[in-house]
Amino acid sequence: MPDDVIAYDPRTALVVVDVQNDFADPSGSLYVAGGDDIIPAVNDEIAAARAGGATVVTTQDWHPPATPHFTTDGGTWPVHCVRATWGAELHPDLDIEADLVVRKGTGGEDGYSAFTVLDPDTGAASPTGLGGYLRERGVQRVVVVGLAADVCVKATALDAVAAGLDTTVRWDATRAVDVEPGDGDRALTELRDAGVRVVGAEP
């Protein structure tokens, strides 16, 4: 397969990570610069996945109003994607009809990966159920797009490859938060080092 081609079939799943208003809209509380620019590329992948008979999964941060995940309660991140608010909704330009929606952080956990959530105090990981769902459908390959490259996209792809799934990230269909300058570049290196195939990125 050419390095820049992503093929979809019934043994492939597309995971669309957190393309939500708080991340992908400039008015969002944790807007990722350029987050709205990736939506056409994400929509292209959704259309290709549907045409190939692949499974389509979308994730949403779905936090309670108070959680140790937020700076207001001693955590890392500003308040974002509070359940049942505008910020938590998927961006209206996203063309998605998912086979499965994985909502992360619903009980106050750190919800980075689509596959696991982490206890904010102990760091202990618990499965979201996505891994079992994909196994039941015979999925062997995963393609990851969405937001943000250096946080939830990275965590999802690393969990996928660790689970033995052939994992691809379409880099031009994601953007980095870059809380620290260079976080996106470091995430790219980490993904490649872990065996994730990255397309749409500079060598």
Q: Which residue among 18, 36, 110, 159 is the active-site one?
A: 18
Sign of the torsion angle spanned by Cα atoms 62, 66, 71, 75: negative
Active site residue 81: no
Residue 69 tokens read as 């995940």
Active site residue 104: yes
Q: What are phi and psi of 49, to 5 degrees?
A: -65, -45
Q: Which residue among 104, 110, 154, 159 is the active-site one?
A: 104
- Contact call for residues 115 and 127 (beta carbons, < 8 A): yes
Q: Which residue among 61, 152, 154, 159 is the active-site one?
A: 152
Active site residue 152: yes
Catalytic residue list:
18, 104, 152
